[in-house]
A and B are shown apart, each in its own frame.
Chain A
Amino acid sequence: MKSFTYERASSLQQAVNACASREGARFIAGGTNLLDLMKLEIETPQHLIDVNGLGLDKITATKEGGLRIGAMVRNTDLAAAPQVRRDYAVLSRALLAGASGQLRNKATTAGNLLQRTRCAYFYDTNQPCNKRRPGTGCSAIGGASRQQAVIGVSDACIASHPSDMAVAMRALGAKIETLNPDGHVRTIEIDDLYSALGSTPHIETILSAGELITAVTLPKPIGGEHIYYKVRDRASYAFALVSVAAIVLPDGTGHIALGGMSYKPWRSEAAEAYLPDGAKTVATHLLAGASPTAQNAFKIKLAERTIGLVLSNSPSSQRPRTAAID
């Protein structure tokens, strides 16, 4: 690990100012992803700004009837929050499907959103990777690509976003609140947070230097049946091949977002209009333009079938990933 200086931020504004003004500065929250990457010297910050202890660990009601989740709320606490379990069960389910008990105790809401891909070539510092070392090429294209993204990919990168939490938040229509060094607070739709891979896969979000995620807000709950279904190689503690976050309303309409498919949670509001027509039609529209490799083309069919399973799901027949609301 490269050496670095360390400070505990004394206030939000001080934190963003320090991050913007110091070369190689990074925020550290739970640290479960950043430290892992620092050990491999994939991440080499020169200065760490500890943003724990700034009061960003609270969940509060918004005046619109929704929820404001502090950026430092731990994954365990968010999954277990009574109002999340009751009104946003898809989010609880997604969080509980991710990582291990130990990691969920440390990992934060903002850190989860900003965690980096688990592409094996991104982690293997002996291999070319445009995300890790821009311009060196993509080893996954033409390499082992079973886990990689199938849609929203580019000629430079086919890495997928590993989060479960973000998939549920996309289905819920979450917004990201940030603080900038100039004091400006901005609100970002979760779909706009992630930058398209294009020719610059090393640029993963639209956040600017020093910009700090302070909270995630959820809109007023809409009821319906909340489902998170994760297909993976192990029954626990593994990243998704395909996951489906769904909120299905009594009239058959709803929201659907997919994980394991792209550089961001994949959702299409236009495709959701076809929900009453069944999984095949929804999947066809949702995954139009997909460009899988020979090794991960199975994800297209797997996504369609997982959507089908979710739509045909009932709380009594499909233990344990469903939760009825109301």
Chain B
Amino acid sequence: MNPENPTASGAGIEMSRRQVLIGTAGTAVTAVLAKVENAQANTNTKSTAQTPPVSHVTFTLNGRRVALDVDNRTTLLDALRERLHLTGSKKGCDHGQCGACTVIVEERRINSCLTLAVMHEGDSITTIEGLGTPCTLHPLQSAFIKHDGYQCGYCTPGQICSAVAMLDEIKAGIPSHVSDDLIAKSPVSAVEIRERMSGNICRCGAYSNIVEAIQEIAGGEA
């Protein structure tokens, strides 16, 4: 809410999921219109009273170069889903609390809903679509299927992207809250996996199977 405008009361935390989806779909439409209106625009930020400010951004997505003019407000998640039509990354809470939007940027897992697309100039981004394909699954995708690491599947792309990068964090020697020894390398134990994956919520409660799937892959790699 604008502090100067006490009547504008659209987006409180009690907003329903449906309202969230409707609201953000509107933003995406605006972004598409902005692109059309600014199809001839130059690279820098533009601002007029009629059209929302737009910026140009170029990044590498799943190994392919992508160039976009985006409404500055467009999150990386909305750019991926609504502009680039990669709908594997999911919008759960849109506030960085559920992890369904997790993607890997510059080899780090992040919440794509809490970062602006325009802030990723030159970055290398990997989504679930870039990890594996239906014919050539990533080992973790296979492991999730084998261990039944999901029920509805909505959190799964985020879980898998998160887990891939999480295992790299352990390999890189990054400690966690449950690591006994800050200096030594952490084991890939169930306790470590549960702590490190706490940013990915599974509403269906498939956690034990998710941990088993991750452990199988970690065991193979360790």
Which residues of A does B touch, CB under 8 Å?
1-8, 28, 31-32, 35-36, 39-42, 44, 48, 50, 52, 76, 79-80, 85-86, 89, 92-93, 96-97, 99-103, 105-106, 120, 123-126, 132-134, 136, 235-237, 319-321, 323
Which residue of chain B is the closest to A323 with respect to CB atoms? B182
For B53, give its contact among A3, A35, A321 (CB under 8 Å): A3
Instruction: Beyond the given A31-B115, A79-B175, please list 9 additional residue pairs across the A-B interface where CB-CB is below 8 A.
Output: A1-B27, A3-B47, A3-B53, A4-B73, A79-B174, A103-B111, A106-B114, A106-B115, A320-B177
Check if A102 sits within 8 Å of B110, measured CB to CB: yes
- B222 contacts the other chain (CB 8 A): no
Check if A85 sits within 8 Å of B109, measured CB to CB: no
- Cβ distance B74 to chain A, nearest Cβ, rounded Å: 10
Which residue of chain A is the closest to B73 with respect to CB atoms? A1
Give Cα A79 to B177, complex, Å: 10
- B118 contacts the other chain (CB 8 A): yes
Interface size class of B (residues with CB under 8 A): 35 or more
Check if B12 sits within 8 Å of A93, measured CB to CB: no
- Cβ distance A244 to chain B, nearest Cβ, rounded Å: 15
Check if A44 sits within 8 Å of B110, measured CB to CB: no
Fill in one digit per residue for B135-150: 1 if any A CB lies within 8 Å of its CB, else 0. 0000000000000000
- Cβ distance A196 to chain B, nearest Cβ, rounded Å: 21
Check if B47 sits within 8 Å of A133, measured CB to CB: no
- Cβ distance A164 to chain B, nearest Cβ, rounded Å: 10
Which chain A residues border B196 with CB–CB below 8 Å? Answer: 101
For B180, give its contact among A123, A124, A236, A320 (CB under 8 Å): A320
Give Cα A44 to B165, complex, Å: 33
Of B1-9, B125-133, B211-219, which binds chain A?
B1-9
Check if B199 sits within 8 Å of A5, measured CB to CB: no
Contact count A vs B, C-beta below 8 Å:
153
Which residue of chain B is the closest to A89 with respect to CB atoms? B182
- Cβ distance A183 to chain B, nearest Cβ, rounded Å: 26
Which chain A residues border B116 with CB–CB below 8 Å? Answer: 6, 28, 31, 35, 48
Which chain A residues border B14 with CB–CB below 8 Å? Answer: 124, 126
Give Cα A174 to B14, complex, Å: 38
Which residues of B does A touch, CB under 8 Å?
1-3, 6, 8-14, 27, 45, 47, 52-53, 55, 71-73, 75, 94-96, 99, 102, 108-111, 114-116, 118-119, 121, 162, 165-166, 169, 172-183, 194-200
Give Cα A235 to B176, complex, Å: 13
Which residue of chain B is the closest to A99 with respect to CB atoms? B199
Check if A39 sits within 8 Å of B1, measured CB to CB: no
Which chain A residues border B55 with CB–CB below 8 Å? Answer: 6
Check if B108 sits within 8 Å of A41, measured CB to CB: no
Give Cα A132 to B13, complex, Å: 14
Which chain A residues border B94 with CB–CB below 8 Å? Answer: 39
9 residue pairs bridging A and B, Cβ less than 8 Å apart: A3-B71, A35-B75, A39-B11, A52-B119, A76-B169, A92-B175, A103-B111, A124-B13, A133-B6
Which chain A residues border B194 with CB–CB below 8 Å? Answer: 236
Which residue of chain B is the closest to A92 with respect to CB atoms? B182
Which residue of chain A is the closest to B118 with respect to CB atoms? A6
For B52, give its contact among A3, A8, A126 (CB under 8 Å): A3
Q: Beyond A5-B72, A6-B45, is A100–B99 a contact (Cβ under 8 Å)?
A: yes
- Cβ distance B174 to chain A, nearest Cβ, rounded Å: 4
Check if A42 sits within 8 Å of B1, measured CB to CB: yes
Which chain B residues border A96 with CB–CB below 8 Å? Answer: 175-177, 179
Q: Beyond A32-B96, A40-B11, is A102–B182 a contact (Cβ under 8 Å)?
A: no
- Cβ distance A112 to chain B, nearest Cβ, rounded Å: 14
Give Cα A39 to B24, complex, Å: 10
Give Cα A321 to B180, complex, Å: 7
